[in-house]
C-alpha cells in the first residue's frame, strides 16, 4: 500500500478556502486518490476521488500533481460543519487503509 | 434513502462475555467491511467480505469473527471481549473493490 503524509492539523477561518495537502510519492499507476472525512462521532464520509485529472464535486475539488506524487483537497468556502479529520488514501483494487489524516479546525 | 445501518449505536458488554454487532445495508453492495477505531486513532480494517468470500487482515485477532448470511447483513462477533477491545466498530460497503465506501455511524463498544 502506498504511504501518505499529511499535516497533523490545520486551521481555517469560516468562509475562507482551505487547501489540504497530501504527499503520496509511492503511489502506483493504477491507484486512485481517495479523500474521506470523519466528523466527530460519525463514520467516515466519502468526499472525492481522482486518478490524474483535477476533479470537482459539490463537496470539494481535488487537484492532482502532474507526477501524481501529491494532491490537494480544496474546500472552497469552509463552514463550521467542515471541521473534521480528512484522510487521503491511494486505492485501486485493494482495501481502504486509513493513515493518520489531518484534523481541520474551522474558526467562526 | 439507501444507507448502512449499524445497531446498536452503543453496546456495553462484560469482560469475556461474547457480543455481536450488526450491520445492514440497503445499497445492494457486493463488499462489506468491518473497521475498528480506537480513541484518537484512524479506523483499522479487520476484515471484509467480497460477496460470500471472507478476507481476514493478517493482524486481526482470532477473537474477532464475522458472518454474512446474505447480501444485506453482516455481523461482527467478539468471542471473548477484553478491555482492549473497547472501541468504535464501523461497518462499510462498496459496490466493488476500489469504489467509494459508504460507512455506517458505528457501534461504540464498552467493555466492563
The residues facing A18 across adjacent strands are A75
A61-100 pLDDT, tens digit each: 999 999 999 999 999 999 999 999 999 999 877 788 899 9
pLDDT at residue B33 is higher than 70: yes
Cα B104 to Cα A64: distance, rounded to the nearest angstrom:
29
Per-residue pLDDT tens digits for B60-108: 999 999 999 999 999 999 999 999 999 999 999 999 878 899 999 999 9
Whether residue A98 and residue B44 make contact (CB cut-off 8 A), yes or no, is yes
pLDDT of B2 reads 63
A92 and B98 within 8 Å at the Cβ level: the answer is yes
Among chain B residues, CA nearest to A103: B40
Lowest mean pLDDT among A20-29, A74-83, A85-94, B6-15: A85-94
Site from A95, A98, A102 to mutate, B interface, most B CB atoms within 10 angstroms:
A95
B 27-56 → A contacts, CB under 8 A: 33, 35, 42-45, 48
Lowest mean pLDDT among A9-13, A23-27, A47-51, B91-95: A23-27
Determine contact, residues B35/B49, Cβ cutoff 8 Å.
no
**CA distance to A81, A101, B87, B108, B110, per residue, from B39 (Å):** 21, 14, 7, 10, 12
Cβ-based neighbour number of residue B15 at 10 Å: 11
Instruction: Return the C-alpha cell found at A34.
Output: 481517495
- The answer to whether the Cβ–Cβ distance between A87 and B105 falls below 8 Å is no
Give dist(CA B96, CA B102) in Å, integer: 12
**Contact (Cβ atoms closer than 8 angstroms) between residue A18 and residue A82:** yes
- The whole-number average pLDDT for the span B2-21 is 94
Question: Could you report how far apart the first and last alpha carbons of chain B are, in Å?
Answer: 36
Amino acid at each position: 500500500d502506498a504511504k501518505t503524509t499529511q499535516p497533523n492539523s490545520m486551521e481555517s477561518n469560516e468562509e475562507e478556502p482551505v487547501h489540504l495537502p497530501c504527499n503520496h510519492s509511492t503511489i502506483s499507476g493504477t491507484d486512485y486518490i481517495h479523500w474521506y472525512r470523519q466528523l466527530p462521532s460519525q463514520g467516515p464520509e466519502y468526499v472525492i476521488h481522482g486518478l490524474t485529472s483535477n476533479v470537482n464535486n459539490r463537496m470539494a475539488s481535488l487537484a492532482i500533481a502532474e507526477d501524481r506524487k501529491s494532491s490537494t483537497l480544496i474546500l472552497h468556502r469552509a463552514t463550521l460543519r467542515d471541521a473534521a479529520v480528512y484522510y487521503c488514501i491511494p486505492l485501486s483494487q485493494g482495501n481502504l487503509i486509513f493513515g493518520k489524516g489531518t484534523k481541520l479546525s474551522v474558526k467562526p | 434513502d439507501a444507507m448502512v445501518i449499524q445497531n446498536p449505536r452503543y453496546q456495553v458488554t462484560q469482560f469475556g462475555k461474547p457480543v455481536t454487532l450488526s450491520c445492514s445495508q440497503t445499497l445492494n453492495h457486493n463488499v462489506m467491511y468491518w473497521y475498528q477505531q480506537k480513541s484518537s486513532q484512524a479506523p483499522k480494517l479487520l476484515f471484509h467480505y467480497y460477496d460470500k468470500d471472507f478476507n481476514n487482515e493478517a493482524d486481526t485477532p482470532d477473537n474477532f469473527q464475522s458472518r454474512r448470511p446474505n447480501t444485506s447483513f453482516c455481523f461482527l462477533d467478539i468471542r471473548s471481549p477484553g478491555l482492549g477491545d473497547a472501541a468504535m466498530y464501523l461497518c462499510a460497503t462498496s459496490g466493488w473493490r476500489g469504489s467509494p465506501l459508504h460507512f455506517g455511524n458505528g457501534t461504540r463498544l464498552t467493555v466492563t
